[in-house]
Structure 1
């Protein structure tokens, strides 16, 4: 083989290797960029979900404070209609708090515990309305426990406050009814 032909083939081989390396490098870079873009989108979605979660948690907490304030409006000696309206308002506020809490992402334990605590609170409001001769101390206490649960979640505490005795008892009764 002549020298010129050999030099040409070596040049052609070098060009093929160079083009192959360029294509391979481009493919690797493109895959890396796609992976990085996917990770950035996932992080952005997680930040957005956390932000939305904090917003609805704040709304739920505001509703719980509103519920506690409502408990303080109780007056001994209210008429039957006034007591019924008082309970109806309390349940509407509790429903709004529960609705907002239901929208908090990645908070299954909180939602379950808050649902139990609100169930106890609703029971307290109903009992308070039908026993018109006392102040609604239990309603205030139970509402405070709901606030403590949501506040612990929002602070990022390691664990939620322990269930109250009434929560545990009502949960056990509800589960017993479901087993029937």
Structure 2
């Protein structure tokens, strides 16, 4: 083979390798950029989900504090109409707490625990307070346990506060009713 032909073939081979290397490099770079963009989007989504969860928990806490203030307006000896108005004002507050807790993403355990704690609050407000002529059980009438659960979530604690005895009892009763 002549030298000029051999040099031409080497030049052509080098050009093919150069183009191939450039294409491979571009493909690898594009793939890396796609991966980085995907990771950034996942991080943004995770941050947005966490933000939505914290916002919903904050709204629930705000409503719980309003409910606590409302609980302090209970008076022994209220007339039936006054009790109806009192319970009628408390009911939407509890519903609002439940709604906001239901919107917290990825917090299944928290939702169940708050549901159980709100069950105690509901029973204290609506059964003990509404049906009884006496003052409802003040220890259960309080929303402190629900506030403690949501506060632990907001702080990012590893564990939620332990359930109260009444919460455990009513949780078991709720589960038994659900299984019937």
TM-score, scaled to structure 2: 0.95
State whether residues 128 and 135 of structure 1, in contact with CA within 8 Å, keep that contact through their aligned partners in structure 2. Answer: yes
Q: Any idea what the Cα deviations from partners look like across 1:123-166, whole Å, max 9, x if unmatched?
A: 0012023223326513443x111101100110111100011111
Please, which runs of 5 or more residues in structure 2 have no aligned partner?
none
Taking the TM superposition and a 5 Å limit, the aligned residue runs for 1:7-156 are: 7-126=7-126, 127-134=128-135, 137-141=138-142, 143-156=143-156
Give the distance between the partners of 1:155 and 1:114, measured in 2 at CA.
16
Per-residue deviation, 1:97: 0.8
Please, which runs of 5 or more residues in structure 1 have no aligned partner?
none
Taking the TM superposition and a 5 Å limit, the aligned residue runs for 1:155-174 are: 155-174=155-174
- CA RMSD across the alignment: 1.2
Per-residue deviation, 1:179: 2.8
**Count of residue pairs the alignment pairs up:** 179
Per-residue deviation, 1:56: 1.1
1:175 counterpart residue number: 175
State whether residues 72 and 140 of structure 1, in contact with CA within 8 Å, keep that contact through their aligned partners in structure 2. Answer: no
Give the distance between the partners of 2:157 and 2:9, measured in 1 at CA.
70
State whether residues 76 and 132 of structure 1, in contact with CA within 8 Å, keep that contact through their aligned partners in structure 2. Answer: yes
Go from structure 1 to structure 2 and tell me whether the alpha carbon gap of 1:160 and 1:65 turns closer, same or farther (over 3 Å shift): same
Go from structure 1 to structure 2 and tell me whether the alpha carbon gap of 1:174 and 1:135 turns closer, same or farther (over 3 Å shift): closer
Per-residue deviation, 1:89: 1.4
State whether residues 125 and 136 of structure 2, in contact with CA within 8 Å, keep that contact through their aligned partners in structure 1. Answer: no
TM-score, scaled to structure 1: 0.95
